[in-house]
Structure 1
């Protein structure tokens, strides 16, 4: 791996040394030098992206495309997108095109990534029969669990088996029976008859896997909104797939991978008339001593 600075193009701004002090250092002459040999490099591309003169080259970044920063949304436009984003569960029968799916996955790949490993995996399910079978099996499991949860003894068993997970899921228990019971009546409240499901997963032992997957999922949700699509996070897909090898195989998740977030996407049946602006957090931790968060 080789990193180089073109001495003719370099203006001596030293921005590369500021974003990557591991491999760049300022010199008395005012122009930075590159470490030789190159030290630890996470292939983030900051050194190339920050240079205003295009003087930095890095032969380990051949798969990246560096583009001019144009057409960035104004803050008000970005906030409007955030206000518009909704969890959409009402879809038309129109399938997503290959181009639409690729655009969503490309958006996910732009997300922040711990250690810049770029090892987040995406399993896309678009086969209608597979989606229906996933809903059917998960609905059957959910209905079985809902029946057991009516017994105090079974609740104790689940609490012992699930540990902290039981407490996290407890607020959802009242939803299990109505959601699963709707499926035989023709209403899918598991995957909502979506034409596409995206399961985002990482290899076992990835120290940043959960965060990286969630960051990617957030990008996909925003991209879907910007593209005029609907999308929704489906926790009722994530947990069952992680607990069942049969479901993981049915969905196509690689063996051993853990799914951290699952999203369904499609064309929405109708638009929302208004966005929802949530208030800023009050009394947020981490504010400087002596200051406080604004009050309404």
Structure 2
């Protein structure tokens, strides 16, 4: 396990105990001699690496893992709730993209954001495979279209086509049913022995989608892409996922000229209160 490097700047600490109270594994205590917070001797392995001790300190007195609290993003920059609701309500699945690369500044912002997404048991063991260049995306797209065209001509009962039956006509017309003309794709992969490998990729891409759309970038969840990658192992191999990782879900994204002037009007969600 990585050394915690837990340090309290005694010139700043007011001994409020916030870091101790907020420590989920309860490995912090007041040092009986100095009366400042410390890691309980022998308790280091219990740390979940959440860094809440660093985040909760009102005086930026706590360091951990060598992180300087003064370099953290401010914790008081909370958007207006109505703006958050509007972002959620106006989230759309985009299936129309411009055939061009997203600008590098925006792409880098999207990639950097992923370090903040939550994971089960704070494992943070996800890995993301990005297709950054439209030319690479086109090579995936063209490969699949060529294989599908061959199946339609020579093997119309192929299991892959059977699962895609509702799209058969569009395949015949040569439409990019699977990748929707998107210039980019991100595949979220989880370590197979991580605590929540089935859920962490979906959680991460949910955050990715909202942030992307706040930046004016179109996105669409794509189970068809994941199914295609699983059916054609040679394509999955091109992703070069680390050993022990499994693709959890795919999201297509990129610049789009399409805009939705208003939100949809979905029916109320089914719910009840438990007594």
Could you tell me the TM-score, scaled by structure 1's length?
A: 0.77
Could you tell me the TM-score, scaled by structure 2's length?
A: 0.82
* 2-structure distance, mates of 1:253, 1:37: 36
Say whether the 8 Å CA contact 2:60–2:70 is kept in structure 1: no
Partner of 1:11: 14
Q: What's the CA shift string for 1:159-184, capped at 9, x where partnerless?
A: xxxxxxxxxxx9x754231342232x
SS of 2:136's equivalent in the other structure is helix
* 1-structure distance, mates of 2:176, 2:264: 26
* 2-structure distance, mates of 1:142, 1:76: 45
Partner of 2:167: 176
* 2-structure distance, mates of 1:282, 1:62: 45
How is 1:83-122 mapped onto 2 (pairs within 5 angstroms)?
A: 83-122=89-128
* 2-structure distance, mates of 1:47, 1:76: 30
> Offset of 1:259 from its aligned partner?
1.1
CA distance 1:11–1:62, shift in 2 (3 Å): closer
CA distance 1:128–1:33, shift in 2 (3 Å): closer
* 2-structure distance, mates of 1:197, 1:255: 20
Range that drifts further, 124-133 or 55-64: 55-64
* 2-structure distance, mates of 1:179, 1:108: 34
Partner of 1:201: 189
How is 1:1-296 mapped onto 2 (pairs within 5 angstroms)?
A: 1=3, 2-20=5-23, 22-25=26-29, 32-39=37-44, 40-61=46-67, 65-139=71-145, 144=151, 147-148=156-157, 173-183=164-174, 187-254=175-242, 257-284=245-272, 287-289=273-275
Say whether the 8 Å CA contact 2:8–2:62 is kept in structure 1: yes
* 2-structure distance, mates of 1:53, 1:142: 61
Say whether the 8 Å CA contact 2:22–2:52 is kept in structure 1: yes
User: Unaligned 5+ residue runs, structure 1?
Assistant: 159-169, 290-296
CA distance 1:45–1:83, shift in 2 (3 Å): same
> Offset of 1:222 from its aligned partner?
0.6
Say whether the 8 Å CA contact 1:134–1:250 is kept in structure 2: no
Q: What's the CA shift string for 1:176-202, capped at 9, x where partnerless?
A: 31342232xxx3221122111111112
> Offset of 1:110 from its aligned partner?
1.5
How large is the RMSD of aligned CA atoms in angstroms?
3.1
Aligned residues between the structures: 266
